[in-house]
Amino acid sequence: MNWEIIIQYYPKLLEGALLTLELVVISGVIGVLMAVPIALLRASKTPWVRVFPFCFIYFFRGTPLLIQIFLIYYGASQFEAVRDSVLWVVLKEPYWCAIIAFTLNTAAYSAELFRGAIQAIPKGELEAADAFGMSWLLKTRRIVIPRAFGIALPAYGNEVVLMLKSSALASTITLLDLTGMARTIQARTYTPVELFTAAGVIYLVMAAVVIGLFRLMENRFNRYQYYKPNVDQLNVDKP
């Protein structure tokens, strides 16, 4: 183990880690925003409404993320119309292609999670909302989404860790994320063991932070599950 190499290139690796985080956060946020309507359509009772979300989810969950990235980054250039359009400003940049691919991918996976959560909401709560005369929109906004959010939270935490790991694929389209940085430096210094170990440790730390954050959120949003009534306060009238 050559520690000097690790110390010398540590700032560079952290720079890469920052790009990794940036990719995960941006595509994660847009991905969730996309996943909610897709999940609502997917959980719909009308069959033809379910067709589009089903195909979308099937394609993005059934093919490797690497192919999805290549399809967007290299594939888009095949069409003259795309290269001449305004879209090309975005699609020629590997950064935006990676974000588009990650967003669509995580949207598909989280939509499936949210669908499961929507269908797991106790029926009585939805009936109660109907009994109050809530419209579909009000019921969805006040009851379905907040409830599904709480149910899906632990599984969504796993999805974010998986996304953090799959963001390493950004390095295949020339981006210098944590993996890309480690690989580039490694090609210069020929010290694969040191650099990949250092990068692996940084990934582990990031994964641990994500898991910790989700545990905090879980304690906060699902606190009714952890609520323990204080017995002494309940029995104040006891002689």
Partner 1 sequence: MIDLHGFGHLLLAGTWVTVKLALVSLSLGLVFGLLGAAAKLSEYKVLRAIATTYTTLIRGIPELLIVFAIYFGGSALVMGFASMFGYDEYIEVNPFMAGVAALSIAFGAYATEVFRMAILSIPQGQWESAQALGMTRGKTFFRIILPQVWRVALPGLGNLFQVLLKDTALVSVVGLQDIIRQATTAISSTKEPFTFYLAAACIYLILTAIATAGTLWMERACTPQLRYKG
Q: At residue 189, what are phi and psi to the nearest 5 degrees?
A: -100, -15
Give min distance, CB of 186 to partner 1, in A.
Answer: 6
The answer for residues whose C-beta is within 8 angstroms of residue 178's C-beta and 6 or more apart is 13, 16, 17, 19, 20, 168, 199, 202, 203
Q: State the nearest-atom distance from the C-beta of 70 to partner 1, in Å.
A: 5
**Cβ 8 to partner 1 shortest distance, Å:** 18
Provide the 8-state DSSP code for 170.
Answer: G
Q: How far is the CB of 138 from partner 1 (least distance, A)?
A: 37
Judged by CB, which is closer to partner 1: 118, or 164? 164
d(CA 17, CA 202): 8
**What's the closest the beta carbon of residue 7 comes to partner 1, in angstroms?**
19
**Shorter beta-carbon distance to partner 1: residue 27 or 143:** 27
Which residue, 106 or 179, is less far from partner 1 as judged by CB? Answer: 179
Q: Is 134 or 154 the residue whose CB approaches partner 1 more closely?
A: 154
Nearest distance in Å: CB 78, partner 1: 4
Residue 71 or 145 having the CB closest to partner 1: 71
Return phi, psi of residue 34, to 5°: -75, -35
d(CA 14, CA 206): 11
Work out how close the CB of 184 gets to partner 1 at its nearest, in angstroms, rounded to a whole number. Answer: 11
Which is nearer to partner 1, 36 or 104 (by Cβ)?
104
Q: For 237, which DSSP code?
A: T
Return the HEC string of 5-46.
HHHHHHHHHHHHHHHHHHHHHHHHHHHHHHHHHHHHHHCCCC
Instruction: Please report which residue ranges of the chain form alpha helices under DSSP H.
Output: 3-42, 47-62, 65-73, 80-84, 87-91, 94-120, 123-131, 136-139, 145-166, 178-189, 192-221, 223-226, 231-234
Residues at the interface with partner 1 (CB under 8 A): 58-59, 62-68, 70-71, 74-79, 161, 164-169, 171-172, 179, 182-183, 186, 190-193, 196-197, 199-200, 203-204, 207-208
Measure the CA–CA gap between 150 and 64, rounded to whole angstroms. Answer: 29
* Residues whose CB falls within 8 Å of the CB of residue 115, separated by 6 or more in sequence, listed in order: 39, 42, 43
Nearer to partner 1, 40 or 73 (CB): 73
